[in-house]
Structure 1
Amino acid sequence: MTMTVKTAQSTRKLILRGLMIGTMALAVTACGKKERPRADLAASQVTTIGVNAYLWRATLDALSFMPLLQTDSNGGVIVTDWYANPKNPGERVKVTVSIVDQDLRADALRVAASRQVSQNGQWIDAPVQAATVQKLEDIILSKARDLRRAAITG
């Protein structure tokens, strides 16, 4: 046999082997369709709003006790109006939450808070403890994870 005949035979064998492997892969995939898990409900694209739906709903839930001034689900911004705790009427807070990604991730959430105290009948800006903002972020993220878990388990 010449070298070209051997090369042609080797090429045919490789092609047949590839076809057999491809056919087996398709058969296995077709059999596995019944056992495939449902789509990941936390995926970025499973939403009709511009940001992660779990973070959005968790933020609205966490801030539900405060009056809302502005909500933009496409831009991912929630701004509350000033809120004064009835137990401490001489102090009020305002919160702005920005959701900057479609994925459920900690860095997709930005929380900013402003605080004012009443002095001589006027509201004066006061510092907000970093732990307060961190705690609010943790609450929102925990609620978002819980919502995702509940949606996946059905």
Structure 2
Amino acid sequence: MIAALRIPLMSLLAAAVLAGCGPNFAERSKTAEELTDEVIYQDRRRPPSRLRDVLFSRTDPAKVGGVNKYLWNASLEVLNFLPVQSVDPFTGTIVTGYGTPPGTGRAYRATILISDPALDARSLNLALQTRSGPVSVGTQRAVEDAIMTRARQLRDRDSRF
């Protein structure tokens, strides 16, 4: 009797082992387009390609890249006397060269980092310096206040329309 069961049991065991070696049909294989997107876009998503996606996107209009557009524009307007060396709206970084404000003889340079899409003072990080070193806390605070005031003015102007 045991000899009679040995062949069917061996066949069943062999079938189970072979089934484990084959492809897993529960997982769907990727299409050629998905593989191409994975190579081209890597961690980023494919940009919207349909007109509906572009026209009806639900992004916040106050954001430029990942930063608040009002803080971004206000920073550029308030510090317009400084020559811009580099900007990156996606990381929120503005780096300027040395420039002299009207009415003074002291040259300043600034590095601005807008770290959050909110129109908030914590979103604005400003580093001002002169050729002889960092500026006083009062001067830096006055420039930050001017940028925040101008950002609020820009937001209020846009909300009227």
The TM-score, its normalising length taken from structure 2, stands at 0.58
1:130 equivalenced with 2:137 (yes/no): yes
2:148 maps to: 141
Shift of 1:84: 3.2
1:83 equivalenced with 2:76 (yes/no): no
* Higher RCO (CA 8 Å, separation ≥ 6 residues): 1
In the aligned structure 1, how far is the partner of 2:101 from the partner of 2:156?
32
In the aligned structure 2, how far is the partner of 1:88 from the partner of 1:144?
25
In the aligned structure 1, how far is the partner of 2:104 from the partner of 2:158?
38
Please list every run of 5 or more consecutive structure 1 residues that lacks an aligned counterpart in the other structure: 1-43, 117-124
The alignment's C-alpha RMSD in Å is: 1.8
Please list every run of 5 or more consecutive structure 2 residues that lacks an aligned counterpart in the other structure: 1-58
Deviations 1:50-106 (A, max 9, x none): 2001100111111111111111111101111011357655x3211111100001111
In the aligned structure 1, how far is the partner of 2:141 from the partner of 2:91?
22
Structure 2 CA distance for partners of 1:151 and 1:68, relative to 1, 3 Å: same
CA contact (8 A) 2:128 2:135 kept: yes
2:67 aligned partner, one-letter code: V
1:107 maps to: 122
Bigger strand share: 1
Q: Percent identity?
A: 33
Largest Rg, 1 or 2: 2
State the aligned residue count.
Answer: 102
Q: Which runs of 4+ in 1 moved over 6 A?
A: none
